[in-house]
């Protein structure tokens, strides 16, 4: 393809003539210093730094600021085209949303390298959440998603958040309003992976530096399969969540309340029991061995097994179950969520209604 065709196509993606010239100066060489690029593109060196930000966000180049002088490197053709293709896919989704009723279309796997794109994906997953969302994010990046978190809380989504390596000022500014953004907030002075998950179905996971480093090789992977989502959830709730210090836990919902997502009901039940309240459940369960359904009405909840709110009561990290008293004795009921069938409990349920005894 001639350079004129490259200019034409990149112009269609919104790059200015000067931005295209700067990119071509890097592309021809594979890598070049800012001074070399400035000379080749006939622009000032200061402008090269400015344009480089746009080219990085478009997924066309990377910037190595550890080199002296700073070096710009062209991304391999396949990676650059993949990033542009993502923009086309985003446009297709946006047009579809305007033309018809919004639908949630989860990706298979998508590699994301741009910090801004990772932030946009995180906000999108939060916007799509209907029942539950987990956010593990550097405290310094909290501002980029807190609006989407607040909107999710307003919609009735249970939001769990862990702030990583929390900056004192960031946490201090937000701590008084944590209830606006999440039901449970924990903080940990460490740098594990960034993690966003919605409804046990879709989300992203990435290196800590993808939201803290300016440029480099860090990346995140977005996914849309329940089985994959729950594998990442299991890792997070086993190895990251328990390490944090609780900073905020919202009061549980007033009862009676029907929880369409079982894990939310377990969280609420744990809080009510911890407060010394006697509660009962109305729940339709399926025997995990036979799939035979049974209606339990007004069965007392004796205990919960969970780790999401203190005190942790489960025998293993991913456990989320209610122990209810039936005419035949106590039975354990787990959540039947996408991609995460109960493998320990005797019964499974998708929703539950909690009432005061």
CATH number of the domain encompassing residue 225: 3.30.870.10
pLDDT in tens, 208-234: 888 887 556 788 999 988 888 888 999
Mark which of 80, 97, 114 sits at the end of a domain: 97
109 with 245, same domain: the answer is yes
Mark which of 97, 117, 134 sits at the end of a domain: 97
62 with 168, same domain: the answer is no
* Residue 308 predicted with pLDDT over 90: yes
* Residue 249 predicted with pLDDT over 50: yes
239 with 154, same domain: the answer is yes
pLDDT in tens, 116-161: 889 989 999 999 999 999 999 998 899 899 999 999 999 999 999 9
Give the confidence band of 111 by pLDDT, cuts at 50, 70, 90: confident
pLDDT in tens, 5-40: 788 878 877 788 888 888 888 888 889 898 898 888
Write the DSSP string, 145-163: THHHHHHHHHTT-EEEEEE
282 with 301, same domain: the answer is yes
Cα 82 → chain centroid = 22
Segment among 60-64, 102-106, 131-135, 335-339 with least mean pLDDT? 102-106
Within 13 Å, how many C-alpha atoms sit on residue 298's CB side?
A: 1
The H or E element containing residue 261 is: none
Residues 6+ apart with CB under 8 A from 120: none
With beta carbons less than 8 A apart as the criterion, state whether 298 and 312 touch: no
- Round to whole Å and give the CA distance between 58 and 60: 6
Mark which of 181, 216, 249 sits at the end of a domain: 249
Neighbour tally for 344: CB within 10 Å: 14
Neighbour tally for 82: CB within 10 Å: 16
- Alpha carbon distances (Å) from 18 to 61, 238, 287, 337: 15, 50, 66, 51
114 with 233, same domain: the answer is yes
pTM above 0.85, yes or no: no
Per-residue pLDDT, 103: 45
108 with 237, same domain: the answer is yes
Cα 228 → chain centroid = 13
* Residue 193 predicted with pLDDT over 70: yes
- Runs of H (alpha helix) within 156-225: 168-175, 178-181
Instruction: For 264-333, give the secondary structure using H, E and C.
Output: HHHHHHHHHHHCCCCEEEEEEEEECCCCCEEEEEEEEEEEEECCCCCCCCCCCCCCCEEEEEECCEEEEE
210 with 116, same domain: the answer is yes
70 with 187, same domain: the answer is no
Question: What would the mean pLDDT of 241-261 be, rounded to a whole number?
Answer: 94
Specify the CATH number for the domain of residue 29: 1.10.10.10
Per the structure, the count of domains in the chain is 3
Instruction: Using alpha carbons only, give the angle 223, 184, 157 rounded to the nearest 5 degrees.
Output: 55
- Round to whole Å and give the CA distance between 268 and 270: 5
For 344, the token pair is 């320990």
* Residue 102 predicted with pLDDT over 50: no
With beta carbons less than 8 A apart as the criterion, state whether 220 and 194 touch: yes
Specify the CATH number for the domain of residue 273: 2.30.30.690
276 with 239, same domain: the answer is no
- b/e for 221-240, b at 16 or more Cβ within 10 A? bbbbbbebbbebbebbbeeb
109 with 243, same domain: the answer is yes
* Residue of 286, 294, 292 lying closest to 335 (CA atoms): 286
Mean pLDDT for the chain overall:
86
Give the confidence band of 280 by pLDDT, cuts at 50, 70, 90: very high
- Round to whole Å and give the CA distance between 247 and 163: 10
> 230 lies in which domain range?
104-249
237 with 133, same domain: the answer is yes
343 with 244, same domain: the answer is no
Per-residue pLDDT, 304: 96
């Amino acid at each position: 393809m001639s350079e004129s065709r490259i200019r034409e196509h990149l112009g269609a993606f919104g790059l200015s003539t000067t931005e295209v010239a700067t990119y071509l100066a890097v592309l021809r060489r594979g890598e070049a210093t800012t001074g070399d690029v400035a000379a080749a593109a006939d622009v000032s060196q200061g402008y090269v730094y400015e344009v480089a930000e746009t080219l990085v966000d478009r997924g066309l180049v990377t910037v190595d600021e550890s080199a002296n002088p700073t070096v710009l490197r062209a991304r391999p053709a396949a990676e650059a085209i993949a990033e542009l293709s993502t923009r086309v896919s985003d446009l297709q989704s946006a047009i579809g949303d305007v033309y018809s009723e919004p639908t949630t279309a989860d990706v298979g796997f998508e590699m994301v390298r741009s910090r801004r794109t990772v932030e946009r994906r995180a906000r999108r997953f939060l916007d799509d959440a209907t029942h539950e969302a987990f956010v593990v994010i550097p405290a310094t990046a909290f501002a980029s998603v807190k609006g989407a978190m607040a909107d999710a809380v307003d919609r009735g989504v249970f939001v769990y958040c862990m702030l990583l390596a929390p900056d004192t000022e960031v946490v201090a500014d937000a701590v008084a309003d944590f209830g606006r953004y999440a039901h449970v907030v924990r903080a940990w002075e460490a740098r594990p992976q960034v993690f966003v998950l919605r409804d046990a179905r879709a989300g992203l996971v990435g290196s800590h530096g993808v939201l803290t480093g300016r440029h480099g090789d860090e990346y995140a992977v977005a996914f849309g399969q329940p089985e994959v989502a729950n594998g990442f959830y299991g890792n997070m709730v086993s190895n990251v969540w328990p390490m944090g210090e609780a900073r905020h836990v919202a009061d549980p919902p007033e009862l009676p309340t029907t929880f369409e997502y079982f894990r939310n009901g377990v969280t609420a039940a744990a809080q009510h029991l911890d407060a010394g309240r006697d509660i009962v459940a109305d729940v339709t369960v399926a025997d995990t061995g036979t799939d035979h359904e049974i209606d339990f009405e007004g069965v007392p909840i004796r205990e919960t097994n969970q780790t999401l709110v203190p005190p942790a009561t489960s025998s293993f990290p991913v456990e989320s179950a209610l122990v209810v008293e039936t005419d035949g004795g106590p039975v354990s009921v787990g959540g039947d969520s996408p991609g995460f069938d109960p493998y320990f409990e005797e019964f499974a349920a998708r929703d539950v209604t909690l009432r005061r005894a």
